[in-house]
A and B are shown apart, each in its own frame.
Chain A
Amino acid sequence: AQTVTQSQPEMSVQEAETVTLSCTYDTSESNYYLFWYKQPPSRQMILVIRQEAYKQQNATENRFSVNFQKAAKSFSLKISDSQLGDTAMYFCAFRGSTLGRLYFGRGTQLTVWP
């Protein structure tokens, strides 16, 4: 079975600083996608970034980047130049080619303070 673990229930960072959110996963599949979603107070789930497992290059989207370590089954999210609007719950998610459904971690609540 697939599992996704986020070991940091809460984190905080000062505006303009950098923060890294951790995620580990367990799977026997070789082809899969990993995602980070954010859920601000509005509760709308927003896709932040995705990583294809067969790509060695880490994905980057503006201030958001990932550190994907396939052998270690680790997928961390780095947010640079944090902004107040980054305050949200962040969910790590896995989707494999065999079972197809999305598996989510329990989330990390990130607070950005001035």
Chain B
Amino acid sequence: EAGVTQSPTHLIKTRGQQVTLRCSPISGHTSVYWYQQALGLGLQFLLWYDEGEERNRGNFPPRFSGRQFPNYSSELNVNALELEDSALYLCASSLSGSYTEAFFGQGTRLTVV
């Protein structure tokens, strides 16, 4: 069974540009979480989607947004990129309606220059 997959694995963007990151959850999982992990820092919660709805949002500016599609895959969009947006972006998925574990993808390494 395939795990959580994220694309792309690496990308480099210029300050001011926009970027879209993608995540496909484990089959049967309807909850998707996005976390930002800057170098040397812990995981900062960005967004939680469950069955197509945004359930919770972390303390990030509105230029961070996302959505979840009917097949439960998800996109994270970041507009007007800033240098401090350089980080590893992790996506995780879990079953809905339960509070069991979440499984993580390998992450997308974003570098803003």
Q: Which residues of A contact B (CB under 8 A)?
A: 31-33, 35, 37, 42-47, 50, 91, 95-97, 99-107
Q: Which residues of A sit under 8 angstroms from B35, Cβ to Cβ?
A: 104
Question: Which A residue's beta carbon lies closest to that of B100?
Answer: A33
Cβ of A43 and Cβ of B101 under 8 Å apart?
no
One of B37, B56, B109 near A99 (C-beta < 8 A): B56
Complex Cα distance A101/B41, Å? 19
Q: Which residues of A sit under 8 angstroms from B101, Cβ to Cβ?
A: 33, 35, 47, 50, 95
Q: Which of B16-24, B42-50, B76-84 contacts A (4 or more CB under 8 A)?
A: B42-50
Q: Which residues of A sit under 8 angstroms from B7, Cβ to Cβ?
A: none
Task: Report the minimal beta-carbon distance from B10 to chain A, rounded to whole angstroms.
Answer: 11
Q: Given A91-B42, A105-B42, are A97 and B103 neighbors across the interface (CB < 8 Å)?
A: no
Q: Which residues of B sit under 8 angstroms from A99, Cβ to Cβ?
A: 56
Cβ of B99 and Cβ of A33 under 8 Å apart?
yes
Total number of B residues with any Cβ neighbor in A under 8 Å: 24
Complex Cα distance A32/B100, Å? 9
Cβ of B107 and Cβ of A100 under 8 Å apart?
no
Complex Cα distance A35/B11, Å? 31
Cβ of B99 and Cβ of A107 under 8 Å apart?
no
Cβ of B104 and Cβ of A101 under 8 Å apart?
no
Complex Cα distance A97/B39, Å? 31
Q: Which residues of B sit under 8 angstroms from A107, Cβ to Cβ?
A: 42
Task: Report the minimal beta-carbon distance from B60 to chain A, rounded to whole angstroms.
Answer: 14
Q: Given A45-B90, A106-B42, A107-B42, are A97 and B107 neighbors across the interface (CB < 8 Å)?
A: no
Cβ of A102 and Cβ of B100 under 8 Å apart?
no
One of A32, A42, A46, A104 near B99 (C-beta < 8 A): A32
Question: Which A residue's beta carbon lies closest to that of B35?
Answer: A104
One of B48, B88, B103, B107 near A47 (C-beta < 8 A): B103
Task: Report the minimal beta-carbon distance from B78 to chain A, rounded to whole angstroms.
Answer: 19
Q: Which residues of B sit under 8 angstroms from A44, Cβ to Cβ?
A: 104, 106-107
Whether B102 is near chain A, meaning CB under 8 Å from some CB there, is yes
Residue among B33, B43, B100 facing the most chain A CB atoms (10 A cut-off): B43
